[in-house]
Amino acid sequence: MKAIKDKEQGRKYVIDCSSKLLGRLGSKVAKLLLTGNTVTLVNAEKAAISGHSREIVASYKQKVEWVDKANPEHSPYWSRRPDFFVKRVIRGMLPYKQPRGKEAYRRLTVYVGVPAGISKESFEKLEIKNMRETFEGALTVKELSARLGYDRVK
């Protein structure tokens, strides 16, 4: 955390999500966004969610399919697409209903894969555990999206 506080405001970060734990990555990215930085995440489909795969899929399936009976159009929306899914997870870590949270959320860009305009040399290194360091196992966002019904994952 101290390393993030020492960074100056207004910097542009390009972060590779490959084999990073989504919750830890999301909290670091949210902190960077709230301090006034612009963050671009690439390879969002390769981020990992730790835990048992059955439990992960069951909990997110419940979120994706949840509909309010009284007003179905205003039910919360969870996308099955990996880049939107990662963006929604990070939105949950921001005060997105307040003006500073909305501004921070606008400075976040998430991509599936690496776009042509971004070089691999410009990636930032964040001190985050890899999915191989977890003890229970992990499920990638790509696998989760496929199990939730998204069929166009690269």
| CATH assignment of the domain containing 48 | 3.90.1180.10
Six-digit token string for 145: 């999206």
- Determine, yes or no, domain membership for 64: yes
For residue 7, tell me if it sits in a domain. yes
Range of the structural domain that residue 24 is part of: 2-148
Residue 7 has a pLDDT of: 55
Residue 52 has pLDDT above 70, yes or no: yes
Residue 71 in domain? yes
Residue 65 within any structural domain of the chain: yes
Q: What is the pLDDT of residue 148?
A: 82
Is the residue at 153 inside a domain?
no
Is residue 154 included in any domain, yes or no?
A: no
Residue with tokens 């166009």: 152
Sequence-ordered strand ranges (E) for the chain: 12-16, 38-42, 48-50, 108-110, 138-140
The structure tokens 């921001």 sit at 94
Going across the sheet that includes 38-42, the strands are: 12-16, 38-42, 108-110
Residue 133 included in any domain: yes
Q: Is residue 40 domain-resident?
A: yes
As for how many domains the chain has, the answer is 1
Q: How far apart are CA 91 and CA 101, in angstroms?
A: 9
Q: Is the pTM of this model over 0.85?
A: no
Handedness of CA 6, 9, 14, 15 (dihedral sign): positive
pLDDT per residue over 81-136, tens digit each?
Answer: 899 989 999 999 999 999 999 999 999 999 998 888 887 778 888 877 666 666 66
